[in-house]
Amino acid sequence: MTPEQITLVQSSFERLGPQLPAMATRFYQELFTRDPALRPLFTTPLPEQEVRFAEKLTEIVQAMPRLDELLTHTRALGARHVGYGVRAADYRTLGDALLAALAAVLGDGFDPPTREAWALAYNLVAETMLEGAAAARPISS
Ligand code: HEM
């Protein structure tokens, strides 16, 4: 990611402002529409999970210019996700749902360069979460 793309992710995220909770709600709707089988993995009440997800996303977006800190963070997050029953293929579904939720809430502000920057940022986060997951998972025989 270029510094310009990091700025695009951060400035578009800031534009969400008070609409961040609405984006989080929309995000889970998009996720479960894409794959209803993911719904039972979430045992925490959805409103609470939406808040956790929004807080974590805020931390990640803010940490983007400090890559080392970010990657330590996302590896640990990925390791925890093994215990939630999340599979590698689910990261693609979640990425699509996130981009759709951002597009719905940001409207015209979610222009192609902004979308591209978010897609890159999400892939980076997903890849490092999967690294953390691989390190946490016992080697199967
Ligand atoms: C950018 C990627 C992601 C972020 C920021 C994120 C964030 C979070 C956070 C903050 C939690 C709360 C617990 C914790 O901190 O360990 C959590 C739990 C969870 N996440 Fe994620 N997650 C991501 C990717 C995924 C993916 C790809 C899935 C697959 C469907 C998923 C499914 C879950 C589930 C099932 C839980 C447990 C919910 C429960 O306790 O009921 N997450 N996630």
CATH number of the domain at 114, please: 1.10.490.10
The structure tokens 């597009």 sit at: 103
Query: Is 141 domain-assigned?
Result: no
List the domain range (segments joined by +) for residue 66.
3-134
pLDDT attached to residue 141: 47
- Mutating to test ligand 1, I would choose from 27, 38, 53, 98 the residue with most ligand atoms within 8 A of its C-beta, which is 53
3-state helix, strand, coil in the chain (%, to 5): 85, 0, 15
Query: Is 139 domain-assigned?
Result: no
Model pTM above 0.85: yes
80-123 tens-digit pLDDT: 999 999 999 999 999 999 999 999 999 999 999 999 999 999 99
CB within 8 A of 102, min separation 6: which ones? Answer: 12, 16, 23, 110, 115, 118
Q: Which atom of ligand 1 is nearest to the CA of 52?
A: 10
Query: Is 71 domain-assigned?
Result: yes
Query: Is 8 domain-assigned?
Result: yes
> Which pair of tokens denotes residue 85?
């029953």
Query: Is 128 domain-assigned?
Result: yes
Q: How far is CA 123 from CA 1, 17, 21, 56, 110, in A?
A: 10, 23, 23, 16, 18
